[in-house]
Amino acid sequence: MRNVAIIGIGQVPVREHWDKSLKELGALALLEALDDAGRDSIDGLFVGNMLSGSLSEQEHLGALIADFAGLGGVEAVKVEAACASGAAAFRQAVLAVASGQKECVAALGVEKLTEFSGQKTSDALAEAADADFETSLGLTFVALNALVMRRFIYERKVEREAFAYFPMLAHANAKHNPNAMFRHDIQFEQYQKAKMIADPINLLDSSPIADGAAAVIVVPADKVKPSDNKIVQVLACEIATDAVALHDRAELLRLRAVEQSVQRALQTAGVTRSQINLFELHDAFSIMSLLSLEASGFMAAEEALRKIREGYFDVRGTLPLFTMGGLKGRGHPVGATGIYQITEAVMQLRGAAPAAVQVPDARIAMTQNIGGTGATVVTTILKGNQ
Amino acid sequence: MRNVAIIGIGQVPVREHWDKSLKELGALALLEALDDAGRDSIDGLFVGNMLSGSLSEQEHLGALIADFAGLGGVEAVKVEAACASGAAAFRQAVLAVASGQKECVAALGVEKLTEFSGQKTSDALAEAADADFETSLGLTFVALNALVMRRFIYERKVEREAFAYFPMLAHANAKHNPNAMFRHDIQFEQYQKAKMIADPINLLDSSPIADGAAAVIVVPADKVKPSDNKIVQVLACEIATDAVALHDRAELLRLRAVEQSVQRALQTAGVTRSQINLFELHDAFSIMSLLSLEASGFMAAEEALRKIREGYFDVRGTLPLFTMGGLKGRGHPVGATGIYQITEAVMQLRGAAPAAVQVPDARIAMTQNIGGTGATVVTTILKGNQ
């Protein structure tokens, strides 16, 4: 099996893009990534997307975007794993190159969510959950996460307001990211007063839906100059799954798929947690950040609630989190999010992040993209050449 | 890169399965394939499906079916490429094993289409076409194929009734397949009198929507006994794409993605067309069979119209087609179809097809799964051990 390297990245700003179709957004990110890579063709395209069918009445995105981007003829498919679709597409791109079948492959994440009614989008997002046993009962996707947060507050005996520091940090970082949706700070008092969406999740616990597209270009690692500062090595990319329905999980607060994918990724990469210089985790809701940190083996969730107030997760702290704003601050175009995370990690490892959020001496980054309430988890470990 | 072998197959009968959900259908096929393979676990699952989101309001099929089948924790994603989703999932399974990342992987195709209104299903199927430039004009998926057939009749100066022999042969073979939807002959007179669906496509030119699921298990070829008659080698599996919208094609009657995927597949497999003992092609509409035979390089479409009447494509002819009924006779559960084709080819290569449709001395089989009106094409070449 060959090692794989990332040689190009591209992204469109995360926004409400009412004037651009799915294929336009996808092609823009893809062409920017090709330009960054200094290539004009690829031999494979994997498109991560969750809801093009349910919302835009458009499937077949692989061929559609390949053709629209002028890459007609190329092998192209769509990969779906709910909110983890982006990183799942990246995983297939890595496999295609690692297998020796392909020499230059693009992983593209693209999603359009904002031009539909709130009800329609909310219903569509619930397709990440179990239709027979969860959404058929009227549970929205936010409500499912609210059940988990409620249980956490009860079992771990913490105050709801302790969660405030996660979205506050996300916004503090997003402020410096020109591609982020929300470029302003939020204060503790705003969190206290924020509207309740699905008790105990309030507006600021919840990442915003958004439109966006991001792409990365991968090639065999032995085909690039190892001295090139732009090159980022893919040390590992591992997927694990768990029951989709919350009631089928062994423990409500335990993300087993996170545990498994992180263990496999660390083993494959041959690195330890202490070597991770930044962690782009999946803060779709504040509670998910906490459970992810715990299941990833970094620390107990209660400890994370304390450490965030001590600057531990700041860009100049011990384990910087969501350095470009994360899902909360950058925005969460679901099927594109996993690729935004990887794109942002690559910027950090190149030393090319906006100065205010550049992690000093970033050499190894972990990204984690979560589908549903924890049923699909993709953990990726990247290493820079700096 | 490692060679890959198929060691197990499973399928549920193609029917209207109103009493079974997507995950039940998927799990049934998957467990039968595991049983056939003599395995009780896998380390990867690729689910081919097109419309679970738009119709059943359920995405995230990878994790969902993995868990329901008792394979929780395993890497699992959904792969979508319109009507070619099944074979596209197979392609990812082959890559995962070929890369050395996985040792035993399942490719599952599953689709539920029949429990919704005809209008809803018809609209959903049109998501295989270009939403911005085709379906927005009111073109259904059948209508798009009708445009192609109309053009064919005009350019090639043939009679519409000459197409009749394709569905007649499909039904003649389906009759012997217990998993087929339509197990009865049709006569030329029936074709003449069949209701027009979208002129010039009549009811018998058009494959039926259906519910179904089929699965195959793949492993590294060097991990199985080469003498085992059940083993089938994957000589090649190649995807190519073309413009989704018909008006963006260079020539309306030329399936360039078929040409490319067949050329690559023959080259990778190291076989010539004359060595192919049977061809499971994508007869979604009669016209597609003709264009596929032509673009695959077997013969001009007009010649195929003559040769079918001479028995050339019969199971005991020179190039047997759709030996278990094809999309027309077996039924077309879109995202599952590509895996049904592979499953049926494996049965032929094992010498385990129903006696009446067993191709004598079948050693090499080609399957071809087409998405949209030709925008995604997956051509697979398999070799038996007999």
* pLDDT of A250: 87
A257-284 pLDDT, tens per residue?
999 999 999 999 999 999 999 999 999 9
- pLDDT averaged over chain A? 97
User: What is the predicted pLDDT for the residue at B385?
Assistant: 85
Predicted confidence (pLDDT) at residue B226 exceeds the cutoff of 80: no
Residue B294 phi/psi, 5-degree rounding, is -70, -50
Which residue's entry shows tokens 């893919």? A234
Q: Is A83 a catalytic residue?
A: yes
Q: In the prediction, which pLDDT does A198 show?
A: 97
> What pLDDT sits at residue B225?
83
Q: What percent of chain B has pLDDT over 70?
A: 100
In terms of CA atoms, which chain A residue is nearest residue B102? A95
Percent of chain A with pLDDT over 90: 97
Q: Report, as an integer, the average pLDDT of B343-351.
A: 98
Once rounded to an integer, what is the mean pLDDT over residues B104-126?
96
Mean pLDDT of B25-49: 97
Instruction: Reduce the DSSP state of residue B12 to 3 states and report it.
Output: coil
ipTM above 0.95, yes or no: yes
Average pLDDT over residues B162-176: 98
Average pLDDT, chain B: 97
pLDDT of the residue at B107: 98
Q: Does the pLDDT of residue A228 top 90, yes or no?
A: no
Residue A253 has pLDDT above 80, yes or no: yes
Region A374-383: what's the mean pLDDT?
98
Per-residue model confidence (pLDDT) at position B138: 92
Q: What are phi and psi of A70, to 5 degrees?
A: 80, 20
Preferred mutation among A23, A64, A234 to probe B, highest tally of B CBs within 10 A:
A64
- pLDDT for res A72: 81
H or E element at residue B189 = helix B188-193
Q: Residue B275's beta-bridge partner residues?
A: none
Over 90: is that where the pLDDT of B134 sits? yes
Which chain B residues are closer than 8 Å to A129 by Cβ? Answer: 60
Which residues of B carry out catalysis? 83, 332
**Amino acid A227: pLDDT:** 75
pLDDT above 80: residue A178: yes
What value does the mean pLDDT take over residues B38-51?
97
The gap between the terminal CA atoms of chain B, to the nearest Å, is 25
Secondary structure letter of residue B178 according to DSSP: T
pLDDT in tens, B194-213: 999 999 999 999 999 999 99
- Among residues A49, A140, A130, A61, the alpha carbon closest in space to that of A90 is found at A49
CB atoms closer than 10 angstroms to residue A48: 36
Model confidence at B228, pLDDT cuts 50, 70, 90, reads confident
Q: Looking at residue B223, what DSSP letter applies?
A: G
Distance from CA of B242 to the nearest CA of A (A): 5
Among A178-187, A224-233, B145-154, B263-272, name the one with the lowest average pLDDT: A224-233
Q: Give the pLDDT confidence score for residue B227 in this predicted structure.
A: 75
The verdict on a CB contact (< 8 Å) between B242 and A63 is yes
- Residue B310's pLDDT band (boundaries 50, 70, 90)? very high
B187 near A CB under 8 A: no
pLDDT tens string B24-36: 999 999 999 999 9
Interchain contact A66–B (C-beta under 8 A):
yes
**Catalytic status, residue A282:** no
CB atoms within 10 A of CB A11: 24
Looking at beta carbons, which residues of chain A come within 8 Å of B53?
50-51, 53-54, 80, 124, 127
pTM to 2 decimal places = 0.98
pLDDT in tens, B241-274: 999 999 999 899 999 999 999 999 999 999 999 9
Averaged over B106-134, what is the pLDDT? Answer: 96
pLDDT (0 to 100) of residue A205: 98
Give me the half-sphere count of Cα atoms (radius 13 Å) on the Cβ side of residue A192.
3
